[in-house]
Amino acid sequence: MSQVQTDTTHRTTDTLSHSTDSVIFRHKLAIFLPLYLDSAFDVAGNYRYDKNFPKFINPGLEFYEGAQLALDSLRKENARLEVHIYDTRSGTKNIPHVLQSPEFQGTELIIGHIAPGEMQQLAAAAAQMNVPFINVNFPNDGGITNNPEFIILNSTLKTHCEGIYRFIQRNYATKPIVLFRKKGAQEDRLKSYFDEIGKVTNSVSLKIKYVTLEDVFDATALTPYLDSTTQTICIAGSLDENFARMLCQGLAAVNKTYTSLVIGMPTWDNIDFSRPEFSGEEIVYSTPFYINPADNLVKAIQQYFKTKFYSRPSDMVFRGYETTYRFSKQLLHTGKGLNGSLGEKKFKVFTDFDIEPVFLNRQNMTLDYFENKKLYFIKKLDGNVTGVY
């Protein structure tokens, strides 16, 4: 597993290295990313893809760029950190090898942009070492239980369903509500979440009508369930992006007669709703990460990328910066036992994380993991953000 070592107080060349000062204690952080260094460079160190960056490299590289910017900021603050960055796509050193290596010993915080199998390995290591493991990207617990060191930042699907339910209760409880879905195991799971939430809610349960559509449909399949006299709240009960496009396109086609608001899934952040087929349709979706374009730090990072790379930073750049900076500051403030300070607001960077304990079995009240429960609701019209809730 390829490794980049960094220290916030000492820089040599393009690679950051450890300080030689053994007197000063430094907190130790490990970051695991899919950088594909062995795939991107040949044995002579030459880049294989000329001026191109294959898509599979981008997420890890973008997170790394954000993390390095955060480490630069921490270095200016004279933060006492020793940081190791590991490439999870290395062809020579896998995660078990790294976990047994001398340089990994003494790690006090693990941050990972990871795949499911890697998540389980790192979570098990974190539990054994009694150090926090921040899962920054994977919106699932992966079957991990009884592990209070495991922290999910990218909220799970169940949390999104809970947030959507409460959002409708607060804002549209008296409107007709229809959940459009298609056949499928994932869609059944989504329906079961909404049913379960309705049974345990402390407020009045929503009257949701469930409608199962064919794999291919148009507006004529939707209009029997819409009300021409009032706004209909339409929930998209599927993560399938093609389903999302068909639903929004069908509702947009009849929105002059049947006014509707469509509420979608967190995957909708990837859809271009400025396209003409979605014209006039109000669209809302949930996300645990919101980057305010008016924020001064956001503007500074955007200007840095414009000047240095002639491009715009992706959301993963901001996530890399925020995760590295925020949790490094908490590590410096409290030491490796972060659980008591996970709710701290003073280290906020871009988003208001609400990290809460999760108890999957309420009978024995065993703490299974921590999860970010804070969701933002983004409202778009013709591709433009018209509200953030």
Number of domains within the chain: 2
Residue 203 lies in a domain: yes
**Are residues 203 and 126 part of one domain?**
no
Instruction: Give the pLDDT confidence of 311-349 residue by residue, as tens digits.
Output: 999 999 999 999 999 999 999 988 777 766 777 788 999
C-alpha distance across the termini of the chain, in Å = 42
Q: What is the DSSP letter of 81?
A: E
Same domain flag for 151 and 227: no
193 pLDDT higher than 60:
yes
Confidence tier at 73 by pLDDT (50, 70, 90):
very high
Q: Which two tokens stand for residue 281?
A: 């349709």
Closest CA to 175 of 203, 220, 208, 202: 208
Q: Are residues 22 and 82 in the same domain?
A: yes
Q: Do 136 and 167 have their domain in common?
A: no
Axis-axis angle for helices 296-309, 315-334 (nearest 10): 120
Based on the fold, state whether residues 55 and 188 are members of the same structural domain: no
**Is 364 within the bounds of a domain?**
no
Residue 262: give the domain boundaries.
157-287+377-388
pLDDT in tens, 270-318: 899 999 999 999 999 999 999 999 999 999 999 999 999 889 999 999 9
- Could you tell me if residue 181 is inside a domain? yes
Kindly report the average pLDDT of the chain as a whole number.
90
Is the same domain home to 233 and 381? yes
Q: What percent of the chain has pLDDT over 90?
A: 79
How does residue 376 score in pLDDT terms, banded at 50, 70 and 90?
A: very high
The pTM is what? 0.90
Confidence of residue 365 (pLDDT cuts 50, 70, 90): confident
Instruction: For residue 362, tell me if it sits in a domain.
Output: no
Same domain flag for 171 and 283: yes
pLDDT, mean of residues 360-366: 82
pLDDT at 19: 39
- pLDDT score at 37: 78
As a whole number, mean pLDDT of residues 47-62 equals 77
